[in-house]
Structure 1
């Protein structure tokens, strides 16, 4: 299973229900990587999307504790276990965890690849992602040349879970 995330220097991912910044190349990469695939997100992440609607061209799985929650165009699961059962119907290489914080935390142990947009800036934030640079189970296996968007510098990083067998 994969995950895809944009983080700042503190591995922060959001503030007050919104992404920290919108970088066109990051959005393009996200679209490229996830189109035609399965994406898993929490309810708050879904509600932060344009029109609070599932993303087009993908199988959207939304995790919520609310038993009455329904959203057209998405599979709604009410537990981690239920979401994992749904994911078992798909090739794990086609599954992407897209947030938010609690969803990343629950699924990280089951992921083998992390696509990280690393933004060389510190934002005010209230949600975070585990720092993979400090996690002995993960290693960075690739990094793009430094990119810029106005005054922001960022890189696209690829992390792989180390073989722990």
Structure 2
């Protein structure tokens, strides 16, 4: 599995169920990477899409604890074990939100992060992979500017991704 996200300089990903920035080049990058693949998201992420509709030309998998949640064009899953066991391959992209990223981060082998060099005043964050010893920087693109917003594409590699679900005991 892979993570794909756009983050601000504080590793924020969203505010009020919206993206922090609308950058067309980032949207194209996202589309290019995920088209024809499986995308895994939380219910709130799905509900933040236009008309709360799943993404076209992708298998949409929604992770939710709500046993009554239904949405045409999606597969509903109620636990990360199912995600890891059924969708743990290279053609799966974790696309949000914050809690889903946190739960699936250990199972992802790489992360495509668009870093926006600005503070988006986020209220939802993901782990700062620059400060996570399990992750190393693999590649960085040149810096781009769109509508006054500076950004670059970063690829991170998980040094030791978990390949199967491990139940944590308390």
CA-atom RMSD in angstroms: 1.4
2:84–2:107: 8 Å Cα contact kept in structure 1? Answer: no
What is the distance in 2 between the residues matched to 1:39 and 1:58? 7
Aligned position for 1:34: 34
Unmatched 5+ residue regions in structure 1?
none
Name the structure 2 match of 1:7.
Answer: 7
The alpha-carbon deviation at position 84 of structure 1 amounts to 2.5
- Please tell me whether residue 78 in structure 1 is matched to residue 73 in structure 2: no
Q: Partners of 1:86 and 1:72 in 2: how far apart?
A: 20
Q: Shift of the alpha carbon at 1:151?
A: 1.1
CA deviation map 1:105-143 (0-9, x unaligned): 000000011000000001111100100000111111111
d(CA) in 1 for partners of 2:85, 2:108: 15
* Number of matched pairs: 162
Partner of 2:147: 150
* Structure 2 alignment gaps of length 5 or more: 162-170
The correspondence of residues 97-136 of structure 1 with structure 2, limited to 5 A, is: 97-136=94-133
- SS across alignment from 1:93: coil
Offset at 1:162?
1.8
